[in-house]
């Protein structure tokens, strides 16, 4: 089924925040720090206030002391209140210190240039190594070693002994660069005070409308009912918009004070420098194996460069917590130790960008497998099979305390290997090699926890613990249906898939079902769309509510047809008695009677057709095996992706087109993380990838065709049997590409344990290798600077 969303988007009739207009609309422009660290000695706004068209200029002194505060209820966690506008100190280049509100965006930007700030520059902390040095300046006052979180998640006391006596220990330093989520629509919001409703109405490009409402209410001291947040069409998010930005709350404050509509549209430079990044991590990891290749122990020190502040509501602990708790992945690890730290630096804060630590932990495990196989002269895929949670072992509870539900780990690897063999990959690789290129094939095996509610989220101990969601399903008097959900799709096609789920249960066509989402006044409190949760949790709640509504319809039909409700089935728009095709009532007729002839029904069946249900599951693991074929030009170092295969299992597939779309988009982001994308700062903390000429998202020419094969192992932990699958592409692709690169360069001195691998990395490594000087280990971890 093609998507309901497409019709308006294809005709240019989508409605994004920047498309909205209001009489008297004002435009906001932020004045931002040019320095990574500085004291703000003085701000003069008088010239800006006098500029043409300016309605107001606000600084921290004008707004008082509101802030965004994300909190983890753990002793090891240091909260970092993020002021709406920085007051006496700035902590990253791009941090806002003032906002100008004017009649149009051009005038607001003109006036922003007239705000004069007297800065006293401070030394900047720009990387993990420098930050943890005892002599480093503290990014936040009182922060020893600039460490915001330090968690020893698992600490098997036998570990050192196992490593000391193991036949084989492999390890390394594994790093991934800071990257940007980069939705094509940047952040955006419009705040408009409504006198009639006594409400601040905010249209926000967000994945989490209710959390924006909570943030605005908490920061500005309002009851939540005084704020309504609407997410209109949202131009991509990828996690960037599952946190709340200070700009959004600042615009709310401006709208409240001015009692006029105020809009802010983030520009691309702001998006690349002053929003949120992710994935900048360093792993010092090692694994012990016995002589047959069986894993004995795993240990990792995990450091995440999280920037200057914790993002609301998830906190900066989201990356180290995810990494430390899920590192073992699809492998059976008998003994485990992991320490995860969040390190503050004078860089933009980080948010849970697509994948959240899983691309990195998968990369670490898959590199360790390859290193062990090489040391043991073993087949790397056999080594994986030997250590993988196998058929018959599900549900499997790992050393990390996580229970993995039924998956197809072994089958997906077997199938991927077979497809690679049958579709001529090796012949193509050999042809490339014959043509003078380096060429190699890489594999990756992984699972992905999705759709986890409060039972799992609570382990993080967030003050705001997400997870459940609630749906309402209502049939109107014409027999058509409206669903409301607290999830908030922004490109995933939820208007289509939720309609499919509910229509299926009511025996009607999806075109008869409309989804309402992204409006805090229309839906129950919900947690939006992130962490591959929506189809499992939001879709599960909708399915449950639809089941309740179906029961009501069956009872009404039973009462009209003088049959037992249990004998009534809903099919093809009608209620009918099972096995009796003559006795059928159209649902539209049932709906008409339910609303307009309510007095004819027994009391419990009167007064409308609607049901509400919630869902709060523990989570379910989808899984996949990816394979990549790359070709490398040894002369230029250029790396090209030639073939890509995904064998994935997300349980019951609701809509194949949409599932494939998620895989394709995710793989492309993952390939780009392996080969292209890198947010760079110089030694003073100046962002030097501030435009799309310096930061390189992938284009169509960087990608090859991606072949996708589906396995379907239904989940027992989701109401529909579906597993989440929004991130898997991104999780697997970096390691698959990295393994392919290393396979291509096997036999040279080059071995890479970092992403992205750039052409200059290859050239440098090959040059060093031919000089016979630098061992491969010296190259590891040098990628992110």
Partner 1 sequence: MKDMHRISLRVNGREHELTVEARRTLADMLRHDLGYTGTHLGCEHGICGACTVLVDSGPVRACLMFGVQADGTEVSTVEGLSVGEELSDLQQAFSDHHALQCGFCTPGFLMLAEAYLAERGSAGSGAATGDGPHAPTEAEVRELIAANLCRCTGYQGIVEAVLATARARRAAAGPADGP
Interacting residues toward partner 1 by CB under 8 A: 2-3, 5-14, 16, 18-19, 21, 105-106, 182-186, 233-236, 238, 265, 267-268, 490-493, 657-658, 660-661, 664-669, 691-693, 697, 699-703, 705-706, 729
Rounded Cα distance between 605 and 627, Å, is 55
Question: Given the structure tokens 């004078």, which residue do they identify?
Answer: 346
Q: Nearer to partner 1 by C-beta: 551 or 660?
A: 660
Q: Nearer to partner 1 by C-beta: 310 or 492?
A: 492
Structure tokens belonging to residue 102: 């004017």
Nearest approach, Cβ of residue 703 and partner 1 (Å): 6
Q: Nearer to partner 1 by C-beta: 29 or 125?
A: 29
Nearest approach, Cβ of residue 728 and partner 1 (Å): 13
Nearest approach, Cβ of residue 542 and partner 1 (Å): 20
Nearest approach, Cβ of residue 178 and partner 1 (Å): 17
Strand 336-344 with 396-397, pairing: unpaired
Q: Nearer to partner 1 by C-beta: 115 or 667?
A: 667
Buried b (16+ CB within 10 A) or exposed e, 731-763: bbbbbbbbbbbbbbbeebbbbbbbbbbbeebbb
Side-chain half-sphere exposure of 776, counting CA atoms within 13 A = 15
Q: Nearer to partner 1 by C-beta: 350 or 492?
A: 492
Q: Nearer to partner 1 by C-beta: 4 or 723?
A: 4
Structure tokens belonging to residue 317: 């602990």
Structure tokens belonging to residue 298: 């795993």
Nearest approach, Cβ of residue 517 and partner 1 (Å): 14
Q: Nearest Cα to 549, choosing from 534, 565, 564?
A: 565
Considering just the CA atoms, what is the radius of gyration of the chain in Å? 27
Rounded Cα distance between 685 and 689, Å, is 12
Rounded Cα distance between 738 and 733, Å, is 8
Nearest approach, Cβ of residue 727 and partner 1 (Å): 13
For residue 560, give every residue at least 6 positions away whose Cβ sits within 8 Å of its Cβ, in sequence order, or none: 585, 590, 593
Question: Given the structure tokens 């594994």, which residue do they identify?
Answer: 174
Q: Nearer to partner 1 by C-beta: 401 or 656?
A: 656
Nearest approach, Cβ of residue 663 and partner 1 (Å): 8
Structure tokens belonging to residue 69: 């505060």
Q: Nearer to partner 1 by C-beta: 92 or 238?
A: 238
Question: How far are the Cα atoms of 630, 632, 687 from residue 774, in angstroms, in the given order?
Answer: 24, 20, 31
For residue 389, give every residue at least 6 positions away whose Cβ sits within 8 Å of its Cβ, in sequence order, or none: 330, 331, 332, 396, 398, 404, 407, 409
Nearest approach, Cβ of residue 688 and partner 1 (Å): 16
Side-chain half-sphere exposure of 713, counting CA atoms within 13 A = 22
Nearest approach, Cβ of residue 692 and partner 1 (Å): 4
Rounded Cα distance between 611 and 208, Å, is 24
Task: Report the residue count for the chain.
Answer: 785
Nearest approach, Cβ of residue 57 and partner 1 (Å): 21
Q: Nearest Cα to 618, choosing from 717, 540, 727?
A: 717
Q: Which run of H or E residues covers position 249?
A: helix 246-258
For residue 634, give every residue at least 6 positions away whose Cβ sits within 8 Å of its Cβ, in sequence order, or none: 436, 437, 438, 762, 766
Cα three-residue angle 51-52-57, rounded to 5 degrees = 50
Is residue 430 packed enough to be buried (19+ CB in 10 Å), middle (13-18) or exposed (0-12)? exposed
Nearest approach, Cβ of residue 609 and partner 1 (Å): 31
Q: Nearer to partner 1 by C-beta: 150 or 660?
A: 660
Helices 358-376 and 728-744: crossing angle in degrees, nearest 10, is 30
Nearest approach, Cβ of residue 733 and partner 1 (Å): 10
Nearest approach, Cβ of residue 631 and partner 1 (Å): 15
Q: Nearer to partner 1 by C-beta: 491 or 538?
A: 491
Q: Nearer to partner 1 by C-beta: 108 or 216?
A: 108
Q: Nearer to partner 1 by C-beta: 233 or 753?
A: 233
Q: Nearest Cα to 116, choosing from 56, 47, 35, 30?
A: 47
Nearest approach, Cβ of residue 665 and partner 1 (Å): 5
Question: How far are the Cα atoms of 539, 544, 606, 611 from residue 481, in angstroms, in the given order?
Answer: 15, 15, 18, 11
Nearest approach, Cβ of residue 493 and partner 1 (Å): 7
Q: Nearer to partner 1 by C-beta: 593 or 667?
A: 667
For residue 48, give every residue at least 6 positions away whose Cβ sits within 8 Å of its Cβ, in sequence order, or none: 54, 57, 98, 100, 111, 112, 114, 115
Nearest approach, Cβ of residue 428 and partner 1 (Å): 16
Q: Nearer to partner 1 by C-beta: 9 or 61?
A: 9
Question: How far are the Cα atoms of 302, 506, 714 from residue 720, in angstroms, in the given order?
Answer: 36, 14, 8
Nearest approach, Cβ of residue 599 and partner 1 (Å): 41
Q: Nearer to partner 1 by C-beta: 657 or 688?
A: 657
Q: Nearest Cα to 212, choosing from 192, 233, 235, 189?
A: 189
Nearest approach, Cβ of residue 660 and partner 1 (Å): 7
Q: Nearer to partner 1 by C-beta: 266 or 743?
A: 266
Rounded Cα distance between 678 and 672, Å, is 9
Question: Given the structure tokens 């014409």, which residue do they identify?
Answer: 478
Q: Nearer to partner 1 by C-beta: 371 or 643?
A: 643
Question: Given the structure tokens 């949202």, which residue do they identify?
Answer: 234
Q: Nearer to partner 1 by C-beta: 78 or 240?
A: 240
């Amino acid at each position: 089924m093609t998507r309901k969303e497409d019709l308006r988007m294809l005709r240019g009739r989508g409605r994004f925040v920047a498309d909205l207009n209001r009489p008297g609309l004002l435009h906001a422009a932020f004045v931002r720090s040019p320095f990574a660290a500085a004291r703000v000695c003085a701000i003069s706004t008088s010239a800006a206030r006098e500029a043409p068209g300016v309605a107001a200029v606000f600084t921290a002194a004008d707004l008082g002391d509101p802030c965004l505060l994300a909190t983890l209820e753990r002793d090891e966690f240091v909260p970092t209140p993020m002021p709406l506008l920085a007051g006496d100190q700035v902590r990253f280049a791009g941090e806002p210190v003032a906002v100008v509100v004017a009649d149009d965006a051009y005038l607001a930007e003109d006036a922003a240039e007239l705000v004069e700030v007297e800065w006293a520059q401070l030394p900047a902390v720009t990387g993990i190594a420098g930050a943890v040095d005892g002599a480093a300046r503290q990014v936040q006052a009182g922060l020893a070693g600039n460490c915001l979180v330090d968690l020893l998640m698992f600490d098997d006391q036998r570990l050192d002994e196992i490593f000391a006596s193991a036949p084989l220990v492999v390890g390394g330093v594994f790093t991934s660069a800071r990257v940007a989520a980069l939705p094509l629509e940047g952040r955006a919001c419009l705040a408009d005070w409504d006198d009639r409703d006594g409400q601040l109405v905010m249209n926000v490009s967000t994945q989490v409308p209710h959390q924006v409402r909570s943030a605005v209410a908490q920061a500005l001291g309002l009851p939540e009912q005084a704020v309504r947040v609407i997410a209109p069409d949202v131009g991509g998010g990828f996690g960037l918009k599952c946190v709340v930005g200070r700009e959004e709350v600042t615009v709310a404050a401006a709208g409240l004070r001015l009692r006029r509509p105020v809009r802010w549209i983030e520009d691309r430079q702001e998006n690349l420098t002053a929003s949120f990044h992710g994935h900048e991590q360093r792993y010092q990891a090692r694994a012990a194996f016995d002589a047959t290749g069986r894993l004995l122990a795993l240990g990792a020190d995990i450091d995440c460069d999280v920037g200057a502040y914790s993002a609301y509501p998830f906190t900066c602990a989201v990356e180290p917590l995810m990494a430390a708790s899920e590192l073992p992945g699809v492998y059976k690890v008998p003994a485990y130790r992991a320490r995860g730290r969040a390190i503050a630096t004078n860089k933009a804060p980080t948010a849970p960008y697509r994948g959240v630590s899983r691309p990195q932990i998968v990369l670490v495990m898959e590199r360790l497998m390859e290193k062990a196989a090489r040391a043991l002269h073993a087949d790397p895929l056999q080594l994986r099979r030997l250590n993988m949670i196998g058929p018959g072992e599900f549900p499997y509870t790992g050393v990390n305390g996580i229970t993995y539900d039924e998956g197809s780990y072994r089958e997906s690897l077997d199938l991927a290997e077979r497809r690679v063999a049958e579709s001529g990959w090796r012949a193509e690789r050999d042809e490339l090699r014959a043509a003078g290129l380096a060429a190699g094939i890489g594999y990756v095996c992984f699972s992905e926890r999705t759709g986890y509610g409060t039972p799992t989220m609570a382990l993080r101990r967030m003050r705001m613990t997400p997870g459940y969601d609630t749906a309402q399903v209502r049939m109107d008097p014409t027999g058509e249906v409206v669903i409301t959900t607290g999830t908030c799709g922004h490109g995933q096609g939820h208007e289509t898939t939720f309609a499919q789920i509910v229509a299926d249960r009511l025996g009607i066509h999806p075109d008869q079902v409309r989804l309402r989402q992204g409006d805090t006044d229309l839906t129950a409190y919900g947690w939006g769309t992130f962490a591959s949760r929506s189809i499992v949790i939001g879709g599960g709640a909708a399915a449950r509510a639809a089941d309740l509504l179906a029961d009501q319809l069956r009872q009404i039909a039973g009462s009209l047809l003088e049959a037992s409700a249990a004998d009534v089935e809903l099919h093809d728009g009608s209620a009918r008695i099972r096995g009796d095709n003559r006795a059928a009532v159209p649902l539209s007729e049932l709906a008409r009677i339910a609303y307009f002839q309510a007095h004819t029904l027994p009391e419990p069946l009167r007064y409308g057709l609607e049901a509400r249900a919630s869902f709060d599951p523990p989570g379910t693991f989808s899984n996949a095996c990816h394979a990549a074929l790359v070709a490398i030009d040894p002369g230029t170092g250029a790396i090209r992706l030639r073939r890509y295969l995904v064998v994935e299992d997300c349980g019951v597939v609701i809509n194949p087109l949409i599932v494939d779309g998620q895989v394709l988009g995710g793989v492309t982001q993952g390939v780009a993380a392996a080969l292209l994308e890198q947010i760079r700062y110089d030694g003073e903390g100046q962002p030097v990838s501030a435009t799309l000429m310096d930061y390189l998202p992938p284009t169509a020419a960087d990608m090859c065709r991606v072949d996708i094969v589906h396995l379907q192992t239904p989940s027992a932990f989701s109401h529909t049997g579906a597993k989440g699958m929004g991130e898997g592409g991104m999780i697997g692709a970096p390691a698959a590409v990295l393994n392919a690169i290393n396979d291509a360069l096997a036999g040279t001195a080059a071995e890479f344990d970092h992403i992205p691998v750039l052409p200059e990395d290859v050239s440098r490594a090959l040059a060093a290798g031919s000089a016979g000087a630098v061992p491969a280990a010296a190259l590891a971890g040098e990628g992110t600077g």
